[in-house]
Structure 1
């Protein structure tokens, strides 16, 4: 047993654990076990009952507001487990400060994070706050509302109905984000050459409506990744990366990013992939597993998300990731996701590979799900002879599309 983000050990009772109580109440339910050494070895407590009383009094006296918690005693090891539940009345403070977990340690939150906790505790999103700018125009939004919903003109009643304006007539941040001109960051696109040191083209869309940012970004995508294939007497429009997957990734980046971070969404366009990185990690209460599975959707900017939903740019119920995955369901490559504390990156690989033979495509297809297979398994699944399978696998390894893992009879091959 070892310490994790949601589990901390304390050999003795000391006030430092109250910082972790604050962290769990603010950011996610966790446990503190007293009578356990840092290496996970139970050492026991002299008087577990007394420890429970002291912990209970300390939390009631030192944490403001008092979170929901439970204490239990393990008689065999003479340890005490304190379970602290994430609460709705954030921020939960110890000595006037709020804390969070950083891997296995507990640290004070930044000023920006503290502000977010206050908003969460008040059940107010950033996009619902009154905007700094109040002289706003909505030409782009009006066009989309008219063409897709038949809504015109965009008068005060419509703005209030969309929650872009308060009943007293003030615009919120969501309105500013949708306005033709604003002070917010945007999208920075770089088209790379043979390496990240070579930038062949640069496009930056900022201080404009997020709807226009999305439109212009899709136009850049079409410039670099769309092509036509002649089949018989027809010209068929195709893309190197599924366009719907890219559109979904951009829409989700705009809707779910942290707009209080003064940084652009980064779009890196490469010959073999596109990387979309948006500022801000996962919303509180959403785990990596829930995110990838398309679990319950927690909209960081619910007003903006509602407008995007009504315009058909996103689905309301957290289906963005499953929809991206569905676009690659019949491809030999799959998208991937890098989730960090301060950013989320979606990587969309190119589906049309150059200089790949039919035999190589067959092997890539059976390795598409990421499972490592033996040469015999690959030969059986592809119906390639042993010698042809070996030659083809060696060629894929040389091209960097497949990795050979292990030695001798334990050799496996996996898709890069």
Structure 2
């Protein structure tokens, strides 16, 4: 057994484990096993029952507020399992600092993450906090509401219905983000030539309504990834990248990003793809698999999300990824989604892109391209290659983003 994000080993009792208690209390359940070496071997703890009392006292004296935990002793091996539960009254501080897990280490959170913990502990969203600026204009929003919802006048009652006020009747951050002028970062777009050193175009849209940012971002794809094809007397619009997929990705980036982070959404435009990088990672309530499979929708910014839904910029919550994938249902190269703690990335390939692969890798792609899901044994049989070579080539194709893995163990299947 090895250490991991939610499992830590301690061979002795020192106060360093208290950082991990803070991390688990703030960011998710975890266990600390005392009497286990870093390599997973058992060394044991003398007088474990007495040590349990010492551990409990250290936690109660050092972590504020008091976290939720329990301990169990394995008397056959003289080891202690300390289980820490994620708490509701965040942040949980050790010596005035909050911690989080980074792989197998417990590290201090930055100021932005600390603010998010404070909000979470207060059961608040960042968009609900009072705006620093209280003199706001909504000309762009009014235009959209009149156009899309046929509202005659955007009154204070309409703004209240949209959720733009705090309990103290102040404008909140959601209102500021939708106002004509604000203090927030926005979207930074760059179009590259043959390399990232060759910048062909650059636009930054910030400190303006996110509705205007959305329109500006859409105009860029129309400029560089659409053209008209004339066939006899018919004029047809051709999308190099599906506009529906791009619109969905931009709307999701604006609605789901963490606006407390002082960073732009980055849109990188290449000849063969567009990369969209949104600050903030996923809300803690959902996993990467749930996000990618569209199994659950957990809005980080529900006020913004509801407005975008009313304006028909997004469809039903939680369907964005599936709608993007559906736009590429007939394409050889599919969109890619990557989730880290701080960034969500979406890569939209040009529809006529081709994989840069070897002839043997192409054989595997051709078999997978016939539809369905195949095991490595089935692929080896169809291509006439040895199993070991097939597995090696599949690993290369996974690294290139050509092949997706489904399942694990003996039930592992592969698809494009």
Q: Normalization by structure 2: what TM-score?
A: 0.85
Matched, 1:299 2:299: yes
Q: What is the 5 A alignment of 1:3-402?
A: 3-166=3-166, 168-230=168-230, 234-315=234-315, 317-353=317-353, 366-367=367-368, 377=379
Q: Aligned in 2, Cα 1:147/1:264: closer, same or farther, shift over 3 Å?
A: same
Measure the CA separation in 2 of the matches of 1:293 and 1:347. Answer: 16
Counterpart CA distance in 1 for 2:379 and 2:295 is: 34
- Structure 2: runs of 5 or more not aligned: 403-416
SS at match of 1:72: strand
Q: Structure 1 pair 49/298, CA: closer, same or farther in 2 (3 Å)? A: same
Query: What's the secondary structure of 2:70's corresponding residue?
Result: strand
Displacement after TM superposition at 1:354 (Å):
7.6
Distance 1:362 1:38, change over 3 A: closer
8 A Cα contact 2:332 2:353, kept in partner: no
1:209 Cα offset (Å): 0.7
Aligned residue for 2:304, secondary structure, equals helix
> In 2, Cα distance between the equivalents of 1:337 and 1:24?
27
Distance 1:363 1:290 in 2: 28
Q: Rate the CA distance shift 1:157–1:56 in 2: closer, same or farther, 3 A.
A: same
Q: Deviation per CA, 1:332-391: give whole Å up to 9, x if none.
A: 1111123233222111111123899xx99998564458989999959969xxxx9xxx9x
**Can you list the C-alpha shifts for 1:32-72, whole angstroms capped at 9, x where unaligned?**
11110011111122222223232233323322122222222
User: 1: CA distance between counterparts of 2:44 and 2:10?
Assistant: 10
Q: Which residue of 2 aligns with 1:395?
A: none
Which runs of 5 or more structure 1 residues have no equivalent in the other structure?
A: 391-404
- Deviation of the 1:213 alpha carbon: 0.5
* Alpha carbons 2:333, 2:353 under 8 Å: kept: no
Question: Which string of whole-angstrom CA distances, capped at 9 and with x for unpartnered residues, describes residues 119-144 of structure 1?
Answer: 11001111111111111111111122
State the distance in 1 between where 2:47 and 2:286 align.
38
Contact 1:28 1:285 in 2 (8 A): no
Residues in 1 aligned to 2:140 and 2:214: alpha-carbon distance in whole angstroms: 11
Cα distance, 1:409–1:124 mapped onto 2, change above 3 Å: closer
Q: Kindly provide the CA deviation profile for residues 284-320 of structure 1, in whole angstroms up to 9, marking residues without a partner as x.
A: 2332222222233222222212211221222453222
Write the distance in 2 (CA, Å) between the matches of 1:411 and 1:181: 52
Change (3 A) 1:89 1:168: closer
Q: 1:408 to 1:144 in 2, by over 3 A?
A: closer
Q: Which moved more, 1:82-91 or 1:141-150?
A: 141-150
**Alignment partner of 2:97: what SS?**
coil
Please say which of residues 225-234 and 160-169 is displaced more in the overlay: 225-234
Do 1:229 and 1:238's aligned partners in 2 also have CA atoms closer than 8 Å? Answer: yes
The whole-number CA distance in structure 2 between the counterparts of 1:30 and 1:110 is: 21
Secondary structure at the residue paired with 1:202?
Answer: strand
In 1, the alpha carbon distance for the partners of 2:16 and 2:353 equals: 55
SS state of the match for residue 261, structure 1? Answer: coil
Measured in 2, the distance between the counterparts of 1:162 and 1:156 equals 10
Other-structure match for 2:411: none
Is the contact between residue 128 and residue 166 of structure 2 (CA under 8 Å) also seen in structure 1?
no
Contact 1:331 1:365 in 2 (8 A): no
* Pair 1:35–1:410, CA change in 2 (3 A): closer
Report the aligned-residue RMSD: 3.2
The TM-score normalised by the length of structure 1 is: 0.85
Whole-angstrom CA distance in 1 between matches of 2:334 and 2:276: 15
Distance in 2 between the 1:362 and 1:243 partners?
A: 31
Deviation at 1:190, TM superposition (A): 0.9
Moved more, 85-94 or 49-58: 49-58
Secondary structure of 1:53's partner?
helix
